[in-house]
Amino acid sequence: MRRVDGTTGRRGGPALSSGPGRILVAVYAVFALSASFRAGFQLVTDFSSAPLPYVLSAFAAAVYVVATVALVRSSERSRRVALVAVTVELVGVLAVGTLSQVDAADFPEATVWSGFGSGYGFVPLVLPVLGLWWLHSRRPRRGRPPVG
């Protein structure tokens, strides 16, 4: 079995879930869980009252889940998946944050990304930036053995 606390991921490249990455994964997991709960609750109870924010809530939840799983796996492929998920997350929080300021009428109910994540201490805004930095600093080097 692969060591969970190993410093190298599957098939080369440093693991994404060791060192500071451990904290990053923990925060991503918290957001995956809370966003999923929130979205599930919104979709089941009163979807019709605010379809757009609720769909965005569900989308945000899915992005967090994908990013969490990809960061934990740290394989070559999941590294790319993580990069896409974190980038989508950054675009999402910026777009929804801006929309929720400009067009408040369309956002009567908050999503995780409303007001740039102000309801969550702006962590949703900071998290993708840290994620991108982390993926960049732990990218596999070509032609060299992976460094631990």
Handedness of CA 113, 32, 79, 12 (dihedral sign): positive
CB of 100 to other proteins, least distance (A): 21
**Residue 66: both structure tokens together:** 């994908």
Residues numbered 16-75 forming contacts with other proteins, rule: CB under 8 A: 18-23, 25-27, 29-30, 33-34, 37, 41, 44-45
- Work out how close the CB of 102 gets to other proteins at its nearest, in angstroms, rounded to a whole number: 28
**Per CB under 8 A, 8 contacts other proteins:** no
Alpha-carbon dihedral angle through residues 21, 26, 29, 33, given to the nearest 10 degrees: -160
Length of the chain: 148
130 touches other proteins (CB under 8 A): no
Kindly state whether residue 81 participates in binding other proteins, applying the rule CB under 8 A: no
Cβ 26 vs Cβ 15: under 8 Å: no
If one counts every other C-beta atom within 10 angstroms of the C-beta of residue 107, the result is 20
Task: Give the binding site for other proteins (CB under 8 A).
Answer: 4-5, 18-23, 25-27, 29-30, 33-34, 37, 41, 44-45
